[in-house]
A and B are shown apart, each in its own frame.
Chain A
């Protein structure tokens, strides 16, 4: 689909020797400018409980700071008027610069808006700031597509930006509500993050192994095919919330009947039911993708392998599996992203993880705590999505792209 527009574009460029303006980037940056000057960027609350009052960009950064940001964004739009490759590179630099400047903007806002006699004051991040972040990410995607970069580079750039933010947050951003919330429970946060990663890692690896085995069995025994997919589809209709809950009682009963299991850590609440539910959910996308991946391998290629004298095991490991790998990895990507979200719900049955903060925060109406749980989950999902997507892209053999 991009091929058509590209051909059109080059044809037009060739005919009248000028560049078609990139309306996408122009729309994005002009829209962002309008939002930044009309929506609150930060809010200041005297303490944790009282809701804050909002401040606009020019109040938060001072007029020079606001003008600097606006000029940078306007430059983004101006460069998009006559897009050439080096202009896109310049835009990439501007986007990175804006992303890197964000925590420093918060520092300036803290210094300007918080009076020294308010030690409890908290700087909240509001609409304008999030819009800036979101539009910058969109612009990054657009520039990446125009420069035809692999997904890996923006991901690396974002990792660098995140590292800078992290450093700023640890050393200077004491007033920001999110940082205060983190500092109040950093050990708890690290444990939750670790639990979350363990839940996702274990359930995805289990479902990769089980999924591969199931898909192979379904290919071998065609009667299993219908039954297997019917069963897996049925599991998907049970809401995740219910599946977690439904495992509570049977596992508690099992643990009370079989002491060995109880000693291994199986109980009604906690990791065991969470893992079972996560694996049950992960199996459908995993099996479906593995099945199609193995099925889509070109018959002629396999026949050629047979003709070359390969035994069937060789044919599987050296031809079918490598050729199926990109689609298979795609399945792992979908499964992993889904598992990151579902593991959040597992907090409701005491499995820990980042969902703990979300549900505790919702219960206490402490929105910064909700953010402390939700933001890392989003980042985690995006990171896994980008890295596995890049891996699948890389593994695709020549000629199949």
Chain B
């Protein structure tokens, strides 16, 4: 029963910074050093006039890519977790089957199709891709929030109520901390998928790391495609290892308690 409180108060275990640092420094090297790698990319395209994508700096593209994914992820966390909390309360119980179905429906809609449908509705640019990513990433978050909150032992909740906690306090200091590892795992899946999917935004005029890839496909320049792909893959690995670190920390503080 005491796990929740202890988990919150216990000394934080040291963070495992090794892998995030490795991937992040590789990413930084790649992004900043891309212009100096011309000799390497010459191997891919010996005849091309230009082998390093220069229409925008990779740092700018990375920043735009990251901000699109971050906005979609934040909105997804807010909507997903709130929806999960709402339907596990007594009043919202009736909505649970529908919300669960809706979230799995969101995963069925291919992101390209959502993107294509969003463009007529809200125009070209960054917003359609944010909407598509939000819709696509919502399922893992909602699903994990639901299973995390439903997995909290009913006896634990009863005991917390018996200690005089209000339902709000039970939610904030018992249910959410206990469900946190599962919710975090959902956010991790959602964000990792969306980093790769965000590249599609380049097809509707949202400039991001998908740009070099599209330019490469159009101009038949493999070097551009490789540059876009490598940076996106490194970004995905960096973010994924950061999530891994957070999860490890949650796990160790839990087992220490």
Which residues of A approach B to under 8 Å, CB–CB?
1-2, 5, 8, 22-24, 127, 138, 141-142, 145, 234, 236-246, 248-249, 337-338, 340-342, 344-345, 348-349, 355, 358-359, 361-362, 367, 370-371, 373-374, 377-378, 381-382, 385
Contact = CB atoms under 8 A, between A and B. Distances in A.
Given A241-B200, A245-B225, A341-B110, A5 B94 contact: yes
A345 B217 CA distance: 12
B220 interface: yes
Nearest to B234: A237
B17 interface: no
B185 interface: no
Interface string B91-134: 00111111011100101111111001101110000000000000
B199 interface: yes
B177 interface: no
A348 B96 contact: no
A361 B228 CA distance: 25
A373 B116 contact: yes
Given A241-B217, A341-B113, 14 more contacts: A24-B94, A142-B98, A239-B229, A241-B213, A245-B213, A246-B226, A342-B110, A344-B113, A358-B113, A367-B119, A371-B117, A374-B112, A377-B112, A378-B117
* 3 pairs of A and B residues whose beta carbons are closest in the complex: A341-B110, A242-B229, A367-B120
B112 A238 contact: no
A238 B233 contact: yes
B116 A239 contact: no
A367 B118 CA distance: 10
A24 B98 contact: yes
A240 to B, nearest CB: 7
Contact of A145 (B98, B113, B117): B98
Nearest to B223: A249
A8 B90 CA distance: 10
Nearest to A5: B93
Contacts of B213: 239, 241-242, 245
Interface size class of B (residues with CB under 8 A): 35 or more
Nearest to B45: A249
Contacts of A238: 196, 229, 232-233
B119 A2 contact: no
Nearest to A349: B217
Contact of B216 (A245, A342, A370): A245
Interface in B65-96: 93-96
A341 B94 contact: no
Contact of B217 (A145, A245, A373, A385): A245
B110 A358 contact: no
Nearest to A244: B217
Nearest to A249: B222
B98 A381 contact: no
A2 B96 contact: yes
B222 A246 contact: yes
Contacts of B226: 246
A374 B113 contact: yes
A8 B96 CA distance: 14
B204 interface: yes
Nearest to A370: B116
Given A142-B97, A341-B112, A237 B233 contact: yes
A348 B98 contact: no
Contacts of A246: 222, 225-226, 229
Nearest to B95: A24
A358 B102 CA distance: 25
B252 to A, nearest CB: 23
A202 to B, nearest CB: 18
Contacts of A371: 116-117, 120
Interface string B221-241: 010011011001100110010
A181 to B, nearest CB: 12
A374 B117 contact: yes
Contact of B113 (A1, A367, A378): A378
27 contacts: A2-B97, A141-B102, A145-B97, A145-B98, A237-B233, A237-B236, A238-B229, A239-B197, A239-B228, A239-B232, A240-B200, A241-B202, A242-B199, A244-B217, A245-B213, A246-B225, A248-B222, A337-B108, A340-B110, A341-B113, A345-B200, A359-B203, A367-B120, A378-B110, A381-B109, A382-B105, A385-B108
A377 B232 CA distance: 26
Contacts of A248: 217, 220, 222, 225
Nearest to A333: B108
B180 interface: no
Contacts of B107: 337
B30 interface: no
B206 to A, nearest CB: 12
A242 B228 CA distance: 7
B181 to A, nearest CB: 19
B63 interface: no
A2 B100 CA distance: 11
B39 interface: no
Contact of A1 (B102, B146, B233): B146
Contact of A23 (B94, B97, B197, B210): B94
A144 to B, nearest CB: 9
A238 B98 CA distance: 33
Most central of A23, A249, A373 by chain B CB within 10 Å: A249
